[in-house]
Structure 1
Amino acid sequence: MSHLVFPCIPPSSKEASETPWFRASDTKERNENAKKAYESLMTVTLRKPVNEKYQNFSKQVKARAEKLFKNFTYGEGEVNSFVGAFHDAVILYAIALNESLADGVAISNGSEITRRMWNRTFTGITGTVSIDKNGDRNADYSLLDMDPVSSKFRVVANYYGNRKQFEAEPGVDIHWAGDRESPPPDTPTCGFDGSKCPPDKPFPVYLIVIIVLLVLILVVLIVGFFVYRYAKLEAELAEMNWKVKWEDILFGSPGKNKKLERQGSRMSLNRKNSYNSSCSGDTIAAHLSNDGNRQLFTKTGYYKGAIVAIKLINKSNITIHKPLLMEIKRIKDLQNDHIVRFVGACIDPPHQCIITEYCPKGSLQDVLENEEIKLDWMFRYSIMQDIVRGMAYLHSSEVRSHGNLKSTNCVVDSRFVVKITDFGLHQLRTTDDVLDEESFAAFQRKLWTAPELVRMAHRPPEGTQKGDVYSFAIICQEIVYRNGVFYLQNFDISPQEIGEKVLNGMKPYFRPTMEAFDCPCDELAGVIKRCWAEDPVDRPDFQTLKGQIRKLNRDGDKGNILDNLLSRMEQYANNLEALVAERTSDYLEEKRKAEDLLYNMLPRSVATQLIRGESVMAETYESVTIYFSDICGFTALSAESTAMQVVDLLNDLYTAFDTVVSRFDVYKVETIGDAYMVVSGLPMRNGNLHAREIARMSIALLRETKTIKVRHKPDYKLKLRIGIHSGSVCAGVVGLKMPRYCLFGDTVNTASRMESNGEPLKIHVSPFTKVILDDFGVFQLELRGGVEMKGKGTVTTYWLLGENPPEYQPPTNHNIL
């Protein structure tokens, strides 16, 4: 018979621990039977300390127990080892607490104090106390076996948890039951059921053959069934009938596309502010334009004769592998009236996108924020019921959960049926861009997310089913109040503050406003509060919610929803005229802003021609002056600066330059990095005044540069290098999508070489420009001498030092104009 090993708590009585088989109140025969049975028992127990310190501790415990508890006595047995363990636990806590207080950690910071208890070893009353990285103690254990002579249990071996070492007790051997010299085998000779000992009469051969054949046939059928299913699945995955070619998606004329956009945005034309009043309008607009889940901003097209929603995938590369194919198959197989149908996906760069059914009425948030749509309670119950039905189907499918449920991905089709979208396909929806966790959009999206998911360092993209129930509760609160997500009555706090309060999880738990008197019945408020319970276990599932919402929506289930829907459509049509007038006014304002922007990008005369739809012909100008400049040492300065510091520097520099340039008859052509290009004499000709205007502007820019301070390097002095040259050029508009007014000709190249061959804080002038400036007689020029230029040979150039004061009278020259 094999030895049985049981972990046990050390008994309080020494006598009982040494002879546990003996009972004084029992008969001698029964005690002898128990003794024989205990021969097969080995006991694993905590190792009892044998040091003198522990012996003294035991005496003190006994004395205190006798003093404090008159009717209690330990007897002659030793003190239970767990008493010493509790003593060492207090010592461990004291050590961690003292270290925490010494480091300035608050006494209420339990997690930090606990962390300091782990991975620690010290000497306690029970000996060496070792705590591992998981907070568990590496305890010492003793193995007890009954001595066949004295019939008392004795220690035969010890295991030391700190050293992870098993050591036999010197001079003591294990007594194996049945007078064996070695441990019994793990399995009896005939097996536990006697199957290893053959019967006297052998089993009939024909029965064995039949049984084997039947088993083989059954195995072949089972294997064949699974092979067939596997082959069918592999063929279906390899077919990839979900793939859509970008060329197969039709995008209509601009008029058609605008019509499609109006169908999707009509529900949101007169939207109210869905966010807390503490958010500025600029912030909200930026958030709306970047929320990819908003149906309002979904790109649409025609695929196989139907309008589809096209959601771009922000990934540089999509790898097709089996997990992705399986996920797509699961999504494609979903069929439900309250689930947006998956049409397919295009994975051909750069047009990667997901194609789904298009719901023209926009998202649920669009509907709730549109004050023109009146929603009575029957209609609101119907919306909730649609969401519950869709989520119940989704949870019962292989998708299992949504993970990102919110009012922006609950969309409304042409029949005012709410459908769930943006679920599954997480490997496609995961983008290469890292979302800024401190941005407004990040905190806004977390308002629908369950607290336990927000607390996760790596939240699974598929979320949890209980997390979806929490998100549904937040959507229901939106439906009840129609004041945006996480509406708080009489409170004005930002999404970041809301997220922090929800994340803390302090009682009472922070949730949006939900008063029973704001609902037609107390049951609805109770259902919503249960759905956003802090403990996920307390939240109902969607199958339960189906019955609860159905009871609340008795009228909607009776068919009255159709009459309600028709009245809403009639009211909506009556308001279209006012809405169209408002949109027209907005369009004219945006048109004016676009024209102003075009006037800043191109010369006004050229921009006017483009606005009228006229083609701008290239034109030759016989005499203009071109200015080039850059900052010496800009490359080295950029290497020592951050990208934002370089942007700030260029912004300060060009803002100052543009202010100076506006005072002269010149046109700024472009800026590339630190390079600045200006021309005078086009598109409006000004005789020979172009050289004077560029010269005066150059002197002013050089003077302005000396006053500009580099923010992150206040002591750094900017050194502007300028080159100017006069000659003929050809100018015209290049490009249609982003038109640019460009100059061509050798004059441009020569002006650039004048700048590159110049010196810091000096204006390098070509001989052609010097001749024109001499006609004015007011500019101070200094001969530089011959300069070797690529493609020009040696050219005699000059430095422009400045301009004479106003009282200086230049010589009369009638050839200036």
Structure 2
Amino acid sequence: MTQLLWTSKVVLVHLGVTSVIAHIKVGQMHAALEAKVLVVSAQVCGDDICELDESCLNCPADCGVCPMATSIKVAIGLPVALICTGFILTVVVSQGGDSFVVLTGKACYMGFCSTTSLQPVKSNSSISRATDVTVCTVVNTSFKPGFIQPGIYDGRTVAVKHIQKKHFTLSKTIRKEVKEVRELDHPNLAKFIGGSIEVPYICIITEYCPKGSLADVLLNEDIPINWGFRLSFATDIARGMAYLHQHKMFHGRLHSRNCVVDDRWVCKISDYGLMAYRKEDSEVLSSTFHCGDLCRIYSPPEVLLGNTNTNTAAADVYSYSIILVEIATRSDLISQAQTEPVKLDIMWRPPLPELKAGKSDSDCPNQVEYCELIKKCWSHSVTTRPTFEQVKKMLDKMNPHKVSPVDMMMNLMEKYSKHLEAIVAERTQDLLQEKQKTDRLLYSTSRVLSH
């Protein structure tokens, strides 16, 4: 017997523990081997019994559906949450776009309105403000289009510009414009505060600058403006315009009357943006004396020829060159044109200022470069005009020892004070001399009378 291993297949029918006994006889020797086997039923998916080897993956019918994995929950829930959040923010922003609206009382614009108040718009949304706008102190009997009049909003003085419109619709375009303007924040921009949309009292409310427009300051001979002030004004305008252009916004109406000076002698740009808001008003003003042919003074040749509109960076630079002439000559070209009519053709430009070289405060520190900057800015070739970033660098080079307007004003006041002290001392000395003469005369007269 050479075979060592035998294999025999035995079918076990009964479930449970079954003993398998193998009887072996070798010669006269007998041996019995016993093995106990647990017999289970065959696994069948669908018998409503979740067997040991069955799971939700291979037999969901018996073991149920597997729970969703955390990663899948996040993958589904995160986009849904973002969509819902975006929708809510869109609704809030669309409603909040009306927060600039201010209702303006009729009497405020009809004259002598010491008791009329501007009130914020009331609506069903949460954008309404609880504080009322206080008194609007307009004293003119008429509100002329294109002119700025003061008012008081939320306890502070504001500039109110009336807009000529027969109808007004708060469209998506206007909401977008207002949103863009409200986001602008620069020390050389007059801050937009709000506006009225009530016909016929539509207006734009902006930051108020008490010194008036740049044209007013330049024409006021009582204000001593040295070249430090003039270059400071030119630099302030360049900085404000560079900021506007960085935000893809162009002015289109830049001139010395749209540049205002605050109480710290900082020049700020006003009347920018909101093209749709003031569209009809611009059309009305274009037919008036001030903004008809005279506005051609600030318009570049390509605009006058109709090759492009006024809302371009190059057109703003051209208008800036005219302001540089006004700053140098302390003149207002519009006022001059009223008294001395000029022939305004497409190629017209004012003469270059005749600047005197010297080291005194009344002399231009670098008259050659200043005139060269003017010529570059009003070049008939659009591509050769510098950007306002380049203009800023040129002005900084002309005025390396720049002093703040407040410090310059303090220096002027100190000089004036010293000059006044000298005058007072001189007058006092003259008075003493006259008194001595009078005393001698009285003494000699008394001696004569005594004899």
Same-fold call, TM > 0.5? yes
Separation in 2 of the partners of 1:487 and 1:301? 27
- The alpha-carbon deviation at position 310 of structure 1 amounts to 1.1
Separation in 1 of the partners of 2:284 and 2:208? 28
Contact 1:405 1:472 survives alignment (8 Å): yes
Separation in 1 of the partners of 2:331 and 2:284? 30
Give 2:274's aligned residue: 425
Contact 1:405 1:468 survives alignment (8 Å): yes
Give 1:314's aligned residue: 164
2:258 aligned residue (409, 430, 433): 409
1:512 corresponds to 2:362: no
Contact 1:386 1:418 survives alignment (8 Å): yes
Separation in 1 of the partners of 2:195 and 2:89? 22
Q: Which has the higher strand share?
A: 1
The one-letter code matched in structure 2 to 1:238 is: Q
Question: Structure 1 residues 313, 493: closer, same or farther in 2, change over 3 A?
Answer: closer
Query: If the length of structure 1 is used for normalisation, what is the TM-score?
Result: 0.35
The one-letter code matched in structure 2 to 1:429 is: R
The 3-state SS of whatever aligns with 1:338 is coil
Separation in 1 of the partners of 2:152 and 2:191? 15
Contact 1:344 1:356 survives alignment (8 Å): yes
1:242 corresponds to 2:96: no
Runs of 4+ in structure 1 off by over 6 angstroms are 216-224, 256-262, 569-573
Question: Structure 1 residues 393, 301: closer, same or farther in 2, change over 3 A?
Answer: same
Gap regions ≥5 residues in structure 1: 1-213, 263-288, 503-509, 574-817
1:138-163 per-position Cα deviation (integer Å, ceiling 9, x unaligned):
xxxxxxxxxxxxxxxxxxxxxxxxxx
The one-letter code matched in structure 2 to 1:448 is: Y
- The alpha-carbon deviation at position 228 of structure 1 amounts to 4.5
1:562 aligned residue (392, 398, 406): 406
The one-letter code matched in structure 1 to 2:205 is: I
Superposition pairs of residues 148-159 of structure 1, within 5 angstroms: none
- The alpha-carbon deviation at position 221 of structure 1 amounts to 6.7
1:39-80 per-position Cα deviation (integer Å, ceiling 9, x unaligned):
xxxxxxxxxxxxxxxxxxxxxxxxxxxxxxxxxxxxxxxxxx
1:391 corresponds to 2:241: yes
The 3-state SS of whatever aligns with 1:351 is coil
Contact 1:244 1:345 survives alignment (8 Å): yes
The one-letter code matched in structure 1 to 2:101 is: K
2:319 aligned residue (471, 480, 487): 471
1:632-689 per-position Cα deviation (integer Å, ceiling 9, x unaligned):
xxxxxxxxxxxxxxxxxxxxxxxxxxxxxxxxxxxxxxxxxxxxxxxxxxxxxxxxxx
- The alpha-carbon deviation at position 478 of structure 1 amounts to 0.5
- The alpha-carbon deviation at position 249 of structure 1 amounts to 11
1:13-57 per-position Cα deviation (integer Å, ceiling 9, x unaligned):
xxxxxxxxxxxxxxxxxxxxxxxxxxxxxxxxxxxxxxxxxxxxx
Contact 1:401 1:464 survives alignment (8 Å): yes
Superposition pairs of residues 319-718 of structure 1, within 5 angstroms: 319-398=169-248, 400-431=249-280, 434-435=284-285, 439=289, 441-456=291-306, 460=309, 463-485=311-333, 494-495=341-342, 497-502=343-348, 510-515=349-354, 517=356, 519-521=364-366, 522-557=368-403, 559=404, 561-567=405-411
Higher RCO structure, 1 or 2 (CA under 8 Å, sep 6+): 2
Contact 1:411 1:418 survives alignment (8 Å): yes
Give 1:232's aligned residue: 89
The 3-state SS of whatever aligns with 2:205 is strand
The one-letter code matched in structure 2 to 1:513 is: L
1:213-234 per-position Cα deviation (integer Å, ceiling 9, x unaligned):
x9x9999978976875565244
Contact 1:475 1:485 survives alignment (8 Å): no
Separation in 1 of the partners of 2:107 and 2:86? 34
Contact 2:192 2:206 survives alignment (8 Å): yes
Paired residues in the alignment total: 314
The one-letter code matched in structure 2 to 1:494 is: P
The 3-state SS of whatever aligns with 1:426 is coil
Question: Structure 1 residues 440, 349: closer, same or farther in 2, change over 3 A?
Answer: closer
Contact 1:443 1:499 survives alignment (8 Å): no
Separation in 1 of the partners of 2:323 and 2:76? 52
- The alpha-carbon deviation at position 551 of structure 1 amounts to 2.0
Contact 1:324 1:427 survives alignment (8 Å): yes
Question: Structure 1 residues 424, 221: closer, same or farther in 2, change over 3 A?
Answer: farther
Question: Structure 1 residues 318, 290: closer, same or farther in 2, change over 3 A?
Answer: closer
Separation in 1 of the partners of 2:332 and 2:154? 37
Question: Structure 1 residues 224, 471: closer, same or farther in 2, change over 3 A?
Answer: farther
- The alpha-carbon deviation at position 290 of structure 1 amounts to 9.9
Question: Structure 1 residues 222, 520: closer, same or farther in 2, change over 3 A?
Answer: farther
Question: % of aligned pairs identical?
Answer: 33
Question: Structure 1 residues 440, 306: closer, same or farther in 2, change over 3 A?
Answer: closer
Superposition pairs of residues 689-768 of structure 1, within 5 angstroms: none
The 3-state SS of whatever aligns with 2:254 is coil
1:615-648 per-position Cα deviation (integer Å, ceiling 9, x unaligned):
xxxxxxxxxxxxxxxxxxxxxxxxxxxxxxxxxx
Question: Structure 1 residues 232, 258: closer, same or farther in 2, change over 3 A?
Answer: closer
The 3-state SS of whatever aligns with 2:344 is helix
Separation in 1 of the partners of 2:160 and 2:288? 29
The one-letter code matched in structure 2 to 1:473 is: S
TM-align CA RMSD: 3.9
The one-letter code matched in structure 1 to 2:341 is: S
Gap regions ≥5 residues in structure 2: 1-70, 117-133, 358-363, 418-451
